[in-house]
Homo-oligomer: A and B are copies of this chain.
Amino acid sequence: MKSVKVGICGLGTVGGGTFNVLQRNADEIFRRCGRRIEVVQIAARSINPKCDTGSIEIIDDALALARNPDIDLVVELIGGDGIAKEVVLTAIEHGKHVVTANKALIAVHGNEIFARASEKGVSVGYEAAVAGGIPVIKAIREGLAGNRINWLAGIINGTGNFILTEMREKGRAFDDVLKEAQALGYAEADPTFDVEGIDAAHKLTILASIAFGIPLQFDKAYTEGITQLTTEDVNYAEALGYRIKHLGVARRTAEGIELRVHPTLIPAARLIANVNGVMNAVMVNGDAVGSTLYYGAGAGMEPTASAVVADLVDIARTLETASNQRVAPLAFQTDALSDEPVLPIAQCETAYYLRIQAKDHPGVLAQVASILSERGINIESIMQKEAEGQDGLIPIILLTHRVQEARMLDAIAALEALESVITPVVRIRVEQLD
């Protein structure tokens, strides 16, 4: 199948990330959609030192790229409300599909853009506009398509969540944390969009529209920032069993749609109350599915690129599809499935929790340590408890570093052969999931 020819406008953080992900994962993407996604032109004011653009043509006129007859699909990653809109509309006029990460553009001008795209029969992908790499647009538009959505609520601004997390965990004041966030690059020099909730309101406007089937209405979103929050209220909330999060909430009521961004107390036991730092999460409640939650990085070079590329793949899979199998049954084209072996458990590698019940005599801890060390198994932590049962056996509890299962089984056999160990060693695998 012939390749999809792509032009990228903007080669900053997200543009550079998108370019790099497309290059690095070209084979993986080809295996998934059965055709190549080929970057044929880039419009950028300067080159990005992180991108090896090789012989790809770089021009400075994004509008010329949007009119380029050799391009099937234009990726708009300029951002903001300047030339981006004109680039997108020009691309659509010229019959090209568009992918954008521009939340302000979609929230404010989306109705107009989509109307033109429908007339021209082209797609506009904007997964990257909300919650970075989390495929929440796809989840709502497609994954929950059988539901009547009741409400959604999201932590959709990483800067704000970082500030609130620091205030809660370290008792720091708002202004103090904001300065650090700026130094770390999490917050802009002018943080208004983030801390006043405007960025979150852009994203919420988009989520509400696709959840309830209403036009985009950014001007009707209520927005309240986090600048007035004090550590006192953060602490009182905690004492009441709550956490304060800067939440975007959209709710369907009998009278109409609630659309609001504001600081919000949430019960501490809710999963979303435990989403910390710059991470994002969106809860969506549907009449059939109940509550669901989608979590991940809401910003950053490659997480945002992940969503941009997903949109590219989505469009590539739809174009000129001969069969009704838009997506291959096992995600990858059947003739591109790999014969990578599935490993037997003995070859799998994890860390381990061990509980050894030993008779109480002085040398046992040294014996245990030497059995492990002889096999190259490193101990992460060790805990020796008082004898608990009537058998007088002392539990020794260990966490090890990662090691192949076969080697651990050998160590366990040696441990169980010790004279002072008379019951089987309990072993449970450990995953850090980081």
Task: Give chain B residues whose Cβ lies under 8 Å from the Cβ of A140.
Answer: 331
Q: Are A213 and B331 in contact (CB under 8 A)?
A: yes
Q: DSSP majority for the A interface?
A: mixed
Per-residue B-contact encoding for A280-303, CB less than 8 Å = 1, 0 else: 000100111111111111000011
A126 to chain B, nearest CB (A): 8
A138 to chain B, nearest CB (A): 5
Is the C-beta of A411 less than 8 angstroms from some C-beta in chain B? no
The distance in angstroms between the C-alpha atoms of A327 and B327, with both chains bound, is: 14
Contacting residue for A302 out of B272, B289, B434, CB 8 A: B289
Per the 8 Å Cβ criterion, residues 286-344 of A in contact with B are: 286-297, 302-303, 305-310, 312-315, 318-319, 321, 323-327, 329-332, 334, 336-344
The distance in angstroms between the C-alpha atoms of A256 and B404, with both chains bound, is: 13
Task: Give chain B residues whose Cβ lies under 8 Å from the Cβ of A214.
Answer: 337-340, 342
Select the stretch in A41-49, A173-181, A185-193, A347-355 that faces chain B. A347-355
Tally of chain A residues near chain B (CB < 8 A): 150
Is the C-beta of A267 less than 8 angstroms from some C-beta in chain B? yes
The distance in angstroms between the C-alpha atoms of A50 and B206, with both chains bound, is: 36
A289 to chain B, nearest CB (A): 4
A149 to chain B, nearest CB (A): 9
Q: Are B332 and A213 in contact (CB under 8 A)?
A: yes
Is the C-beta of A36 less than 8 angstroms from some C-beta in chain B? no
Known pairs A306-B289, A310-B146; A340 contacts B244 (CB<8 A): no
Task: Give chain B residues whose Cβ lies under 8 Å from the Cβ of A139.
Answer: 135, 138-139, 143, 294
Select the stretch in A77-85, A257-265, A360-368 that faces chain B. A257-265
Task: Give chain B residues whose Cβ lies under 8 Å from the Cβ of A28.
Answer: 147-148, 213
The distance in angstroms between the C-alpha atoms of A146 and B347, with both chains bound, is: 29
The distance in angstroms between the C-alpha atoms of A237 and B354, with both chains bound, is: 10
Q: Are B338 and A142 in contact (CB under 8 A)?
A: no
Is the C-beta of A271 less than 8 angstroms from some C-beta in chain B? yes
Is the C-beta of A3 less than 8 angstroms from some C-beta in chain B? no
A416 to chain B, nearest CB (A): 16
* 13 pairs, CB–CB < 8 Å, chain A vs chain B: A21-B147, A25-B146, A25-B148, A118-B334, A145-B310, A146-B305, A210-B330, A213-B336, A249-B431, A257-B342, A262-B428, A265-B429, A292-B295
